[in-house]
Structures are given as structure tokens and as C-alpha cells.
Structure 1
Amino acid sequence: MGFKLKKPDDAVGSAAPAIIIGLFVAFGGVLFGYDTGTISGILAMKYWRDTFSTGYRNPKDGEPDVTAQQSSMIVSLLSAGTFFGALAAGAIADRVGRRIAMIIDSGVFVFGVILQTAATAIPLFVAGRFFAGLGVGLLSATVPLYQSETSPKWIRGAIVGSYQLAITIGLLLAAIVNNATKDRYDSGSYRIPVAVQFAWAIILVVGMLILPETPRFLIKKDKHEAATKSLARLRRLDINHPALVEELAEIQANHEYEMSVGQASFLEILRGTLGKRLATGCAVQALQQLAGVNFIFYYGTSFFQNSGIKDGFIITLITNIINVVSTFPGLYMVEKWGRRPLLLFGAVGMFVCQYIVAIVGTTTSSVVANKVLIAFVCVYIFFFASTWGPVAWVVTGELFPLKARARCLSITTATNWLFNWAIAYATPYMVNAGPGNANLQSKVFFIWGTFCLVCAVFVYTCIYETKNLTLEQVDELYSKVRFAWQSPGFEPSLTYTDVRDMAGEMKGATLEDLEASAQEKRAEHADHVETTTKV
């Protein structure tokens, strides 16, 4: 098999432009990760707690602090904003295009950053968190959409997965900046980490002013000449190259066939194989959150400190470094190993680690126990970052036909953020001590671990293997293969150009009937050519 990812022999043109563009667009994930990561450290900063406290004092040290309810609201409002942003992303991306949508998304994010930077009390800070979340939610649905529509099939998984890598880099950068400002006793302690986000948004906007629109969106809008130029730029081929013409014709034919059998209404995307794919996408995004990783990145600093670990900031920095480094093997293995095996491997590994952390944290409280807790949290992060972190975005980016891709991706991403919000909101009540709180502490890892076991069952029964298939061939996979565990080894045999030609003659026929008729006509044509040649 070899270690290096090798371009297939049948892949014509250069993949370099699409890879470079896809990796740059992943920069939107830095906004996501950094904004998520800053809040964990900010909530633990003394100056911030003194300034934003409304009279409550922490029972552990008697210092001014925010209540569990306030902490829950501050953290979860970002996720609430992202939920509504993700829901709106599909409509915006389908109306103005994937490229312009990302510029608009970044502007919304910047507005939220301005409010947070200016804030000296909880209401304005919370408003800023909401609008920043709105921008992040818009981007989180649009970035994988852009990547999946521009990437060659043989490396699409790694490119879409790089979005998660950018998220981990954003989390790491947040941990570094937080660690650098945490000891300041002035507004710079939290304003510097928040204001740094202006730089990430500016970089993304400048890039999107230069990059091309996706050819699939342009086909959807009947802009064939623009789609040809865009694909030629992405594949570094002449606009008249046969391979380019063939790829565009297949995209066009697939879109026309999909539109002929139904529009992308909300009712349509809930029925048939499209409804099955939407349910799969929503479930994989929900389970990515229920695996518990954001508990560590939202509340990790406070959790480690409450567990008796002296410098929670340093531990958080270490876990973020592991998160970044561990994503790289996932980007490699998603193409070499495939989506299903990698997700199964990750689910089992996370389950084991979570239960060990829960058992150790619940039964003992010593220096050795703390070291074991930290070690297995780090191993858990390795399993998540190399599997469910990037591959959840890969799976959802590949599931849907062109007519419904933006709308369905917005719904699946909104599901991710809905569960992200629920976990961010509920965690302080689940973990912390105090009246009305569950005071689970390390026992909360039993909950995350159980969901990891659910992840393993879900992957086996519901995740189809889409490695090395074009986005159009994924439609064929779902139309022909009934059960997910039968999908490995599937070989596409359908050409949508032929199906489109037959659809007009056989109205109401199934996809299988159209394909059979097209193959029969090709065989007749071949026999005719052979007979003519002999004569």
C-alpha cells in the first residue's frame, strides 16, 4: 500500500491548486477553534472574574467569581449563535455563492469580537459571544461545503479533514495567548486574547477575495462558462481538455437528474435515501459532541484546577498540543484506511480512555491518580483528534447531492452546534458542587464514555464507506447499497451523462432501470460498430 498518498493514474491534471485552496479555506476553522478555546482560560483569569463578578464569591477560595448559571450562559451563548448561524448558512451559500458567503460570515464574526473586546460587564460580553458564534456557525457549514466541492476525490477526505486540523490549531493558539496574558491584572488579560481574532478574520477575507467560486455552485446557477474556468483553475488544465469537459458534463448530468426526480424542499430532504443521509449526518455530528471533547476544551482549565492539579493552564496547553499533533495521522488514515474503520477505531479507543478516567477520578485522589487522569485524558484526545474530530466533517461533506448539499450541510452542522450548546450549558450544573448541581466531577466521564460506545454501534450500522468516490458516485452508492456494512468494496458503474439521456425516454423509471437501459444501448452501439468494421 505504501506510506505516501499517491495520485491515482486516472486523475488528470494537477491537484496542487485544489489542495492549496482547500487548506487555505480551512483557515476558517482557526476562528472556530480559537473562539472556542479562549473562553476556558478567560473564565479562570482573576482580573476577568473580579471585573465581571456580580457579587458572587467562589466557595473554595472566597474570591469574586461568576456563578455556575452565569458561566453556563457565557460559554453556551457562543454555541447558541453558531446553531442559528449554521441553519442560515445553506440559504446564504446557495444565494450568493460559497466564496462571498464566507466573506459575509467573517464580517458577522468581527462584529461579535468588537462587542467582546469592548465589554466590561456580562451583558455586552454575552452579546459579543452570540454574534461571534453566529459568524462561526455560518463558516462552520460553508467551509466544508467549499472544500468538498473543489477537492479531487482521491484526497477529498484529507482536505475536508484539514478543517478540523485548523480548529485544533485555533484551540492551541488560544491556549498559548491565554497562558501569556493570564497573570496580567488589567483589561489586557482578556482583551488581548479576544482582539487577536481580528487577525484571523482579516486573513480569511483577503484570501476569499482572490479564490474562485466552486464549479458545482456555478453549474447549479447555470453559469457553465464560469464553472469551466473555475474547474480549469482548480485542476490546472486547459478549458478544452477532454478530462475537464468530461468531469463538468458528469456534474451537470448528475445535477439535472437529481432535479428531475425532485426539488430540494424541506419535505424532499426528509424522504428516501436523502432523508437517510440527513439522519446519518445529524447523528454523526451529534455523537462527535457527545463524545465529550468540548468538556475538556470549554471547562478543562477549571476542571483540572478543581481536581487538585496546580497549573490548569499548562495542562490545557499540553492537551491542545496533543490535539493538533494527533490530527495529522487522521488526515492520512482517512484516505488510506477509510471512513468506517477509522471511526470505529476512534470510538473504541475513546470509550476505554473515558472509563479509565472516570474510574480513577472517582475512586482515588492522589498525586499518582492525577497523573493517570491527565495521561488518559491525553490519550483520549489522541483518539478523538485522529478520528472523530476530522472524519465527522469529512462524512457530512460527502453525503449529499448538489441540489440539497448546502441546505443539508447547514442542518447537520446546526445539529453539531445544538449539542455543543447543550453540553456547554449543562456541564457546570453536572460537574460543579453547590445547591442544585449534580457535583459529578470525574463521574461525568462515565457519561461521555457510554456515548463513545454508542458511537461504535452507530458507525457499524449507519456509516457508508465513501473513500475514493466522487460526490456524484456517492448518490449511486446510496441508491444501490441497502446496509452500511455492505458498502466497503462498492464499485460505481453508473454514468450520469447516460442516465440523463435515458431519463427523458423513460419517465418514472428507477435509477437501476435507467442504468440498465443505458448499458444496453451502449452494448448495442458497440455491436453495431463492430459489425460495421467487419463489413
Structure 2
Amino acid sequence: MVKFLNVYSISAFVALGGALFGFDIASISVVVGTDQYKTFYGNPLGIIQGAITSSMAAGSIIGASLSSFLADRFSRKVAIQLGAIVWCVGAAVQSASTGVPMLCIGRAIGGLCIGLTSAIVPIYQSEIAPRKFRGRIVSFQQFSLTLGILVQYYVQYACSFIKSEAAFRLPWALQSVPAIILFFGLFVLPRSPRWLANKGRWDDVLHVLAFLRTFNADINDPLVLAEFKEIEDQVQQERVEQSNSYRELCSRKLRKRMFLAVAIQVFSQLTGTDLLVYYIVYLLSSASIQHTLLMSSIIYILFCVATIPSIIWTDQWGRRLSLLLGALSMSFWLYLIGGLLSRYGQSTTVQDQSYTWIIVGHPAASRCVQASLYLSAASFAMTWGPVSWMYPPEIMPVRVRATAVSLSTASNWCFNYLLGFGVPSLLRMMRWRLFFLFGSLNMAAFFFVLLQVPETKQRTLEEIDEVFEYEKPLWRSLRGREHIDRLEALASDIREGQVQVSVIPRAASYEQNPTCLLQ
């Protein structure tokens, strides 16, 4: 028998916050190829279409910047609920838009939510997850994102056959449904034990850990007590160091971690995934692929399915190896696409097109470009997609985690904005050279990870401090050498009575009284 509310179900549900981002991606990637959208908004191309696409990222920068204050002040789950409310407002404005300016405003409002949820959901997931499966738990964020793209894509595709403005207004309005479900569902979920610890609610910390780690919410379980003690020791030590969180992030102790968190998020954008997920219709058209809307859906199916291996095995592969293999594979596919377009493509004379380079009369080359686009997306989904969300929150101490992830996620959205705004124009100007640019950026990411990024798999969030304070050569991380399982050792000491953990007893467990930890 399995509890309905456990770490997996809670993480999967809260990952609806990631699905909202997926809905937004699909809402643009399909609609740009429909006649209804082109007619109503005046066939936006280049800078205008870039402004429409990137307006979401502009709002996300603000949302991510606000996330640390909201997550620390009101808790992780309340901040996500606030984001869900904002999302519904943005969806309403988009669906009622009367022109490009109003559409941009609606997307920017929705972006506030995406900025909040993209920063806070991985924090919440990492803080409730067991150390051995934390990567799997946080990977739900990426899987939910890809599933959101897939669902919304087919909703948009079905609506594209409607011969009226409802072709884009109806699916944009339907985006509010999962946000409403997320808002109300969060009322029955527990708060993050690390957030509770930071607020001094130690009794609640113990009971949430017991609820998440054991079937019968046993507060006397040695592993529960060991994790409780680790959290308590970490928080007490951080309180002794009392300092401003922003200043602390620039300190010698944390600045490397902050740099890594930002760099991982930035490189995840520079892999070229935005080129694929937002503008796949343009790319397939440039390769002379017919039925582009239907063919585009394949990339989102692969995007979703390819995330599953990461969920299952990322805690065995490790973060570092995933990033290295992902950068190499994406670089190969992008170089291949650029080479094929350069060799078999030609300038197009058709006016008012989203692309200026096209393959004509070479069906084998066209199919190879199509397959390479799909495989590039799959490579990202298995590697950089999930790892870029799990790595920043797990390398930061609890005291500054929300602030650090807020800044790293804001940097992600800054580059998302620049790429969303610039790619339509770059695709028209640089043509096939754009793929060589992104292929080279993937190689830069490979060498950065090889030289700078340590492994963090299967360590508690508290143990990761030691990874950075007592740095070992990075090739040992690549080989995945085992570390001493300190939590198991501490649990053994507690079991044998060598270590005592003092907590205030509680009259009712969380499972007996589910509302006791929702305050």
C-alpha cells in the first residue's frame, strides 16, 4: 500500500508550475504558423514577432527577481499560489487582446508567474526530496514543462482548424485551467521543511520530514531524526554567521557557487533550445518539410519522452556527466544542420517569409535536417533541460537559497528574452550560420562543465557544502567516486543511542491532522 500524498505525488503536482511555461511555449510555436494569427496581428515578422515572443521572458525576469522575497517571506508554496493567480490574469489579457501591444502585455503578465514558479518550484522540490532521489524529483519540473508543451500544442493545433479568431483566443484562455488546479491543490500540501527550519518551527520540521520519509509518519525513525539534526545544525550555523544574503553571495565562500548557478542557467539557454521550441515551424519550412504544424508536434513528443530517462537515471548518471554528454550531442546535431543547410540550401526570393534560406530539390538533406532537429531537442531534454533546474537550488545553503536561485533564474530569463527577441531576425540574417553559432556555444558549455562543475548527486543539501569547501579534483567527480554516507552514519549513531535528538512532542501527526502544517 502506498500513501497518496508522498514525495513523488507532491512533486509531480507542484510541477504544474513548470507546465505553465510549457503552455506558453506551445501557444506561440503553433500559432505563428496559422493564417488566423497572421491576419489578425498583421503577419508579424522579425523584430515584431521577437517582441511578442520575448515579452513573456521580460515579465519572467521581474517574476524571478521577486521570487526570493516572496518565497522567504510567505513560504515556497504560497509564492507559487500567488504566481498561479497572476497567470490567470495574463491568460485573460492574452485571450482578449486587440492587437500586438495588448498581446505583449498579457504575455508579460503571464511571464511574472513563470519567473516565480520556475525559480521556486525546483527549490520546493529539492527541499522535500530524499538525497538519493533528489535529481529524479526535480526532473519532474522539466517533464511537466515538456508535457505542458505537448498538451497545449495539440490544443492549439486542433483549434487552428477553427476559421475565426477563436483559433488562438480559445487555447490562450484555456491556459488558466491548470493554474486554477495548482492554486487550490497547494492548500493540502505541506510546507518545505527547510523553510520551516529557517522560521524556527522545529516541531513542524520534524513532522513534515516524518510524513515525507516514512509510511506512518514516524517521528522516531533514525533516518528522519538524522536528517532533522543535519538541517538543525546547518541552520544554527548559518544564523551564527548573520549577514546580508546578497553580500554573502559575493563572499569568498559562496561566489563560486553563485557563479556556477548563473552559468548553468545561462548555458541552458545558449544551447539553442529556444531556437528549436519556439521557432521549429520556421526551421522545418526552411528545410522544405510539408505539413509543418503536424511535423512540429513530433519534436514535442520527443521532448517529453526523452525526459523520462533523466527522471529514472539522473541520480545514477550524475549532473556533471549529463551536462557533458548533452553539450557534445547538441553541438554535433547543430553543426550537422548548419552544414546541410550550407551545402544544399539557397537564398529564397519569396517576400514576407520568416526565413531567407531554403533547401529545394534535396529531399534526403531535408529529412536529415528534420531528424537532426528532433535529436537535438531530445538531447537537451535528457540532459541540460532537467539538470539546469536541479543544480542551482541544490548547491546553495538554505539561508540564501531562494535569493541565489532568484538571481540565477533571472539570468536565465534575461538570455531567454534576448534570444526570443533576436532569433527571428538572426534566422533571417545569419541563415545557416546561426546553427554553427549555437553549436560552438555548446562546445563552450562542454569545456566549462569539464573544468568547473563538481558532481553533487546523492548528497544531502547540507553535505553539498563540503563538496565546495573541500574541493577535490574534478576528474574524480567524473569518475563518480563514492563518498561517505554521513546521513546513514548519523542515523546509525542515533539508533544505537550515541547521538540524542531533542524535539518537542506533538499531539497529532500530519497524517492524522493534515491541516496542522498548513498555517
Give, as a single letter, the amino acid of the residue that structure 2 aligns with 1:132: G
Partner of 1:489: 481
SS of alignment partner, residue 80 of structure 2: helix
Deviation of 1:330 (Å): 1.6
Percent of aligned pairs with the same amino acid:
31
Partner of 2:203: 225
CA distance in 2, matches of 1:381, 1:479: 36
CA distance in 2, matches of 1:91, 1:241: 34
Deviation of 1:404 (Å): 0.5
Partner of 2:239: 259
SS of alignment partner, residue 444 of structure 2: helix
Q: Tell me the alpha carbon deviations over residues 420-446 of structure 1, each in whole angstroms, 9 at most, x when there is no partner.
A: 1111111111012xxxxx2x2232111
Q: How does 1:479-518 map to 2 (within 5 A)?
A: 479-481=469-471, 483-487=473-477, 488-489=480-481, 491-492=483-484
Q: How does 1:210-359 map to 2 (within 5 A)?
A: 210-236=188-214, 237-359=217-339
> Which consecutive segments of 4 or more residues in structure 1 shift more than 4 A?
13-16, 492-495
CA distance in 1, matches of 2:243, 2:474: 26
Equivalent pairs, count: 469
Q: Tell me the alpha carbon deviations over residues 101-147 of structure 1, each in whole angstroms, 9 at most, x when there is no partner.
A: 11001111111111001112111111000000111110000100000
Deviation of 1:380 (Å): 1.1
Residues 139 and 390, structure 2, Cα contact 8 Å, conserved in 1 = yes
More displaced 10-residue stretch of structure 1: 69-78 or 34-43: 34-43
> Considering only aligned residues, what root-mean-square deviation do their CA atoms show, in Å?
2.0
Greater radius of gyration (CA): 1
Deviation of 1:372 (Å): 0.5
SS of alignment partner, residue 30 of structure 2: helix
Give, as a single letter, the amino acid of the residue that structure 1 aligns with 2:219: I
Residues 14 and 235, structure 1, Cα contact 8 Å, conserved in 2 = no
CA distance in 2, matches of 1:353, 1:52: 34
SS of alignment partner, residue 267 of structure 1: helix
CA distance in 2, matches of 1:273, 1:383: 34
| 2:73 is the counterpart of 1:95 | yes
Q: How does 1:11-90 map to 2 (within 5 A)?
A: 17-53=6-42, 65-90=43-68
Q: How does 1:400-419 map to 2 (within 5 A)?
A: 400-419=396-415
Deviation of 1:308 (Å): 2.0
Cα 1:476–1:29 change in 2 (3 A) is same
Deviation of 1:174 (Å): 2.1
Residues 287 and 369, structure 2, Cα contact 8 Å, conserved in 1 = no
Residues 245 and 403, structure 2, Cα contact 8 Å, conserved in 1 = no
Deviation of 1:262 (Å): 4.3
Give, as a single letter, the amino acid of the residue that structure 1 aligns with 2:10: I
Give, as a single letter, the amino acid of the residue that structure 2 aligns with 1:420: N
CA distance in 1, matches of 2:381, 2:45: 31
Deviation of 1:342 (Å): 1.6
SS of alignment partner, residue 245 of structure 2: coil
CA distance in 2, matches of 1:273, 1:379: 39
Deviation of 1:383 (Å): 1.1
Partner of 1:181: 159
TM-score, normalised with respect to structure 1 = 0.84
Deviation of 1:397 (Å): 2.4
- Provide structure 2 residue ranges, at least 5 long, that are not aligned to the other structure: 345-358, 491-497, 499-519
Q: Tell me the alpha carbon deviations over residues 439-480 of structure 1, each in whole angstroms, 9 at most, x when there is no partner.
A: x22321111110111111111111111111000000111111
Match of 1:369 among 365, 370, 374: 365
Give, as a single letter, the amino acid of the residue that structure 1 aligns with 2:400: A
Residues 330 and 386, structure 1, Cα contact 8 Å, conserved in 2 = yes
Residues 306 and 382, structure 2, Cα contact 8 Å, conserved in 1 = yes
Residues 340 and 463, structure 1, Cα contact 8 Å, conserved in 2 = yes
Q: Tell me the alpha carbon deviations over residues 282-313 of structure 1, each in whole angstroms, 9 at most, x when there is no partner.
A: 10111111000111111111232243222211
Deviation of 1:242 (Å): 3.6
Residues 276 and 377, structure 2, Cα contact 8 Å, conserved in 1 = no
Partner of 1:382: 378
Cα 1:16–1:481 change in 2 (3 A) is farther
Match of 2:340 among 357, 360, 364: 360
Deviation of 1:213 (Å): 0.2
Deviation of 1:16 (Å): 7.4
Q: Tell me the alpha carbon deviations over residues 237-256 of structure 1, each in whole angstroms, 9 at most, x when there is no partner.
A: 32343432332121011111
Q: How does 1:471-482 map to 2 (within 5 A)?
A: 471-481=461-471
Q: Tell me the alpha carbon deviations over residues 314-370 of structure 1, each in whole angstroms, 9 at most, x when there is no partner.
A: 121000001011111122221122111121111111111110011001210222111
Partner of 1:399: 395
CA distance in 1, matches of 2:47, 2:158: 28
Cα 1:403–1:269 change in 2 (3 A) is same
CA distance in 2, matches of 1:471, 1:52: 48
Cα 1:257–1:486 change in 2 (3 A) is farther
Give, as a single letter, the amino acid of the residue that structure 1 aligns with 2:234: N
CA distance in 2, matches of 1:490, 1:321: 36
CA distance in 2, matches of 1:379, 1:306: 18
Cα 1:414–1:107 change in 2 (3 A) is same
More displaced 10-residue stretch of structure 1: 86-95 or 239-248: 239-248
Give, as a single letter, the amino acid of the residue that structure 2 aligns with 1:51: F
CA distance in 2, matches of 1:485, 1:233: 38
CA distance in 2, matches of 1:290, 1:452: 7
CA distance in 2, matches of 1:258, 1:474: 15
- Provide structure 1 residue ranges, at least 5 long, that are not aligned to the other structure: 1-12, 54-64, 433-437, 499-521, 523-535
SS of alignment partner, residue 439 of structure 2: helix
Partner of 2:446: 456
Residues 16 and 179, structure 2, Cα contact 8 Å, conserved in 1 = no
CA distance in 2, matches of 1:292, 1:35: 18
Residues 301 and 316, structure 1, Cα contact 8 Å, conserved in 2 = yes
Deviation of 1:43 (Å): 2.0
Cα 1:196–1:416 change in 2 (3 A) is same
Deviation of 1:485 (Å): 3.4
